[in-house]
Amino acid sequence: MRQAIEVHGLVKEYPGLMAVDHIDFTVAAGSVFAFLGPNGAGKTTTTEILEGLRRRTEGEVRVLDLDPWKDGYALHRKIGVIPQDFRFFEKITPREGIQYYGALFGTHPDPADLLRRVALEDKADSRYDTLSGGQKQKMGLALSLTNDPQICFLDEPTTGLDPHARRAIWEVIRGLRAEGRTVFLTTHYLEEAELLADRVAIIHHGRIIAAGTPTEIIRTRGRPERLLIEAPASLADYLRTNAGVSAEAHDGRVEVPLGTKGDALRVLNAVATSGIPWEGFTTTQDTLEDVFVRLVGQMDEGTLKSEGHA
Amino acid sequence: MNGRRLAGDFQVVVRSYVRNPVALFFSLIFPIILIALFGAILGGNGSVSTPLAVENLDHNSPASQAFLAALNNTSLVQITMVNYSAQNFGVALGNNGYTTGLIIPQGFQANYTNRTPVDVFLYTNPEDASDAGIAESAVQGVVTAFNLHAACSTCSPILGITSRNVGSQVYKEIDYLIPGLIGFTILTSPMFSMVDVAASYRKDGIFRELSLTPLTKAEWLTSRILWYVLLTFISAGIMIGAGIVLFNAHVQVNAGILPFLFAGPFLFVSLGMLAGTVAKTPESAALIGNIITFPMMFLSGTFFAVSLFPSWLQPIAHVLPLYYVIDGMNQVMLFSNATRALTDLVIVMAIALVFFGLAVRFFTWRDE
Ligand SMILES: Nc1ncnc2c1ncn2[C@@H]1O[C@H](COP(=O)(O)OP(=O)(O)OP(=O)(O)O)[C@@H](O)[C@H]1O
Ligand SMILES: [Mg+2]
């Protein structure tokens, strides 16, 4: 598949700080790419370099086969951007803003349609300075779509939105993908990335510490699947000695890591033969968030090296 | 320049201003306040003595000097010595903003000592009855005193007064004030707001937002210029109207001032943008704006005609761009001197183009 974004050896240095430290990744055209990382990881810095808003210190960056810094003027006609802290003219309404951007881009967007897509129709004629934080964010998203962009850069588009509004934005992102557009998304909501993204990259201290599809990352970097049995602690001892698994008891539950599918059957058989009373069981798996928290923690402790390539 | 982009951006500028009622109210009411305030100060007859331009053609003879000293002692007039010998005195008075003037003729002392009748020439403007009345009574008083001093029972009075009118076109301070105050708003309203806009749009990321669109910096600046041109047209109209209605000002209103109402905002929007570009924060922008604006506000002929400045100060006025805007409007509205107005206009346009070019070149949407 054609690459919409290609990044090789990207470095951004601020005075006394390596904000982005030799990162590599590619984003396939038509896919949703989620860029994750804790506060100050370098997400916005990277995003703005891709958008042609910041100059990189080093490295090779191509967005739609253009150099974002040198060919910014050409690139900007083809991309849509919603910055992390979107601000607009105080006295202008969403409808007028869309018409304004239509004039600037030489397009004829339908304000009603765009505003419906981002669930902001009811505020079409309210001035920017009277909108709530989430409504402003939606206005920014609507504006970023006025030029029919090939790539949408969304820097934390759902931060501060209520659950309903967040789902509306998710629908917009799904719609963008269905229309064949590429989406570059940063977010602090890991479940959002898991739901929407074809691929994710986790950046921390300017380095990519994990990359791949969400399932890949969970599979390779997460803990194994675990069986949770509601039973007294004595079951844990029984399983350790009789089933050869590393069972642990806490909070009235016994937790057993499952290496293979066979493990589950073996453990459940052992439970049945133990004669110890049990109430029920569930299996549990790491979420992307669990993996994220552990990887970031490990890197802070210095027990994790960054991945060279994503 | 793309017409649709320019029109779209202009519309945003207009809406932003019009929807800010306080700002709009002040930008429309401020010109009236200025005219009313300064007109009242200058027009009030209070304790201020009437300015009297005096040309002494009797080579500062002791008698003529005694006459002027006596005139000065009346405290009714404030004497300024002038030298218009090469010109028609009445016209020259008018051109220099005097409503009253006095010529002491050559041979004044000789005639007075010989008791040969001799007249001083008093120029007044019948339309400005109060100044005329004050000057007449002051001069009449001194003439009478001098005649009494030289009196004898047989002889007729030696000194007399010949009255003449101040030149065809007569200017009062309010007349000067109108181009000056129009210049003042041409300077201040774009300067103060552009430096602020430049710095705060950068801080708020509005420039970054705009940099992601095809709008060019030249288009952005042009739509601001167009707005301030429109605002200047309106406020100049208000000021001229208020000056005429409230203070009976005599200014020629013709299309000749329109180029200045265009070139002036063009210049100062560009300069304001340039100043805001140099500044890194809104606070330093305001400071830089003030440093540029204040000298120009007072030294360019806004409130006082530059010709009244001490001679060492005049060259400074001549390097301030606003001087040429105001001088040009003076030439059009008061003196009908088209050649000089055109020269001023060329100077203003040239400076405006340079500032516009520099502003477009140096202001940046994105962090470099
Ligand atoms: N203009 C700047 N000058 C100096 N340092 C900067 C600048 N912008 C960002 N930084 C620093 O670079 C690092 C990365 O910042 P960046 O904004 O890219 O983080 P982020 O991942 O987007 O964080 P968040 O999730 O909080 O938005 C931070 O340590 C930040 O302090
Ligand atoms: Mg950020």
pLDDT at A26: 95
Query: What is the CATH code of the structural domain delimited by A224-284?
Result: 3.30.70
Residue B90, pLDDT score: 83
| Confidence (pLDDT) at A186 | 96
Residue-wise pLDDT tens digits, A30-43: 999 999 999 999 99
Query: In this predicted structure, what is the pLDDT of residue A9?
Result: 95
Q: Is domain B50-165 given the CATH code 3.40.228.10 in the classification?
A: no
**Structure-token pair, residue A114:** 């765009």
- Looking at residue A251, its pLDDT comes to 83
pLDDT higher than 50, residue B46: no
In this predicted structure, the answer to whether residue B45 has a pLDDT above a threshold of 50 is no
Residue B20 has pLDDT above 80, yes or no: yes
- Tell me, what's the pLDDT at A105? 95
Q: What is the complex's ipTM, to 2 decimals?
A: 0.82
Q: Is 70 exceeded by the pLDDT of residue B368?
A: no
Q: Shortest CA distance to B316 belongs to which of B289, B349, B340, B294?
A: B294
- Adjacent-strand bridge partners of B118: B159
Q: Which pLDDT belongs to residue A10?
A: 96
What pLDDT score does A263 carry?
81
pLDDT at B195 over 90: no
Tell me what pLDDT residue B321 has.
93
Residues of chain A with CATH 3.30.70: 224-284
Q: How far is the CA of A26 from the centre of ligand 1 (A)?
A: 22
Percent of chain A with pLDDT strictly greater than 90 = 59
Beta-bridged to residue A202, according to DSSP, are A36, A210
Tell which wins on pLDDT, A249 or B48. A249
Tens of pLDDT, residue by residue over A147-167, are 999 999 999 999 888 888 888
The pLDDT of residue B44 is above 70: no
Which ranges in chain A are annotated with CATH 3.40.50.300? 3-78+150-220
Higher pLDDT, A2 or A13: A13
Q: What share of chain A is helix, strand, coil (3-state, %, to 5)?
A: 40, 25, 35
User: Strands across the sheet with A280-284, in order?
Assistant: A248-250, A253-257, A226-230, A280-284
Residue A92 pLDDT more than 70?
yes
- In a mutational test of the A interface, the residue from B209, B224, B364 whose CB has the highest number of chain A CBs within 10 Å is B209
What pLDDT, on the 0 to 100 scale, is given for residue B346?
97
Out of B76-85, B122-131, B188-197, B220-229, pick the least confident.
Answer: B122-131
Report whether pLDDT(B355) > 90: yes
Q: Which of B9, B205, B213 sits opposite A87 (nearest CB)?
A: B205
Token pair 């699947």: residue: A225
Rounded distance between C-alpha atoms, residue B93 and residue B88, angstroms? 9
CATH architecture of A3-78+150-220: 3-Layer(aba) Sandwich (3.40)
Please tell me the predicted confidence (pLDDT) of residue A308.
45
pLDDT of residue A64: 96
**pLDDT value at B303 more than 50:** yes
> The dihedral of CA B78, B81, B87, B88: what is its sign?
positive
pLDDT at A310: 45
Query: What average pLDDT score do residues A113-139 get?
Result: 92
pLDDT, mean of residues A91-101: 96
Strand order in the sheet with B159-165: B77-81, B50-56, B101-104, B118-124, B159-165
Q: How confident is the model at residue A53 (pLDDT cuts 50, 70, 90)?
A: very high
Banded pLDDT at B275 (limits 50, 70, 90) = confident
Report domain extents, chain B.
50-165, 173-362
Ligand positioned closest to the Cα atom of A37 = 1
Q: How many CB atoms lie within 10 A of CB A134?
A: 19
Please say if the pLDDT value at position A24 is more than 90: yes
Distance between CA atoms of residues B368 and B365, nearest Å: 9
Ligand nearest to the CA of A39: 1
**What average pLDDT does range B336-362 have in this prediction?**
94
Percent of chain A with pLDDT over 70: 97
Average pLDDT, chain B: 85
pLDDT in tens, B243-266: 888 877 777 788 889 999 999 999
Q: B156: pLDDT confidence band, cut at 50, 70 and 90?
A: confident
Q: In terms of CA atoms, which chain B residue is nearest residue A45?
A: B367
Which residue has a Cα nearest atom 1 of ligand 1?
Answer: A14
How many angstroms separate the Cα of A247 from the Cα of each of A192, A221, B100, B164? 32, 21, 112, 120
Is the confidence at residue A305, as pLDDT, over 70? no
A292, A36 Cβ separation under 8 angstroms: yes
Confidence of residue B25 (pLDDT cuts 50, 70, 90): confident
Question: Residue B150 and residue B159: Cα distance in Å, rounded?
Answer: 10
Q: Is A93 in the pocket of ligand 1 (CB under 6 A)?
A: no
Q: Which of A89, A96, A104 sits opposite B213 (nearest CB)?
A: A104
Comparing A195-199, A296-300, B15-19, B154-158, the range with the smallest average pLDDT is: B154-158
Residues B90-102, mean pLDDT to the nearest whole number: 82
A31 close to ligand 1 (CB < 6 Angstrom):
no
| CA atoms of A290 and B135, how far apart (whole Å) | 96
- The larger pLDDT score, comparing residue A30 to residue B130, is at A30
CB contact under 8 A, A55 and B368: yes
pLDDT at B87 over 90: no
Checking if the pLDDT of B170 tops 70, the result is no
Which chain B residues have a beta carbon less than 8 Å from that of A73? 214
- Residue B234 confidence class, pLDDT cut points 50, 70, 90: very high
pLDDT at B172: 62
pLDDT at residue B221 is higher than 60: yes
Q: What is the reported pTM?
A: 0.78
Instruction: Output the residue whose Cα is nearest ligand 1's atom 26.
Output: A39
Q: What is the pLDDT of residue B86?
A: 66
Choice among A167-176, B37-46, B119-128 with the minimum mean pLDDT: B37-46
Q: What is the pLDDT of residue B47?
A: 45
Buried-state track A251-284, b at ≥16 Cβ within 10 A, e below 16? eebbbbebeeeebbebbbebbeebebebeebeee
* Average pLDDT value for residue range B222-239: 94
* Tens-place pLDDT, residues A255-284: 888 877 778 888 888 888 888 888 888 888
Q: In the predicted model, is pLDDT for residue B315 greater than 90? A: no
Of A229-233, A304-308, B15-19, minimum mean pLDDT range: A304-308
- Residue B211 burial by Cβ neighbours in a 10 Å radius (0-12, 13-18, 19+): buried
Secondary structure (3-state) at B106: coil
Distance of alpha carbon B34 from alpha carbon B21, whole angstroms: 20
Residues in chain A within 8 Å Cβ distance of B213: 76, 101, 104-105, 147
User: B4: which chain A residues are within 8 Å (Cβ-Cβ)?
Assistant: 103, 106
Task: Give the pLDDT band (50/70/90) at residue B91.
Answer: confident
| pLDDT tier, A202 (very low <50, low <70, confident <90, very high otherwise) | very high
What pLDDT, on the 0 to 100 scale, is given for residue A306?
Answer: 54
Beta-carbon separation of B208 and A92 below 8 A: no
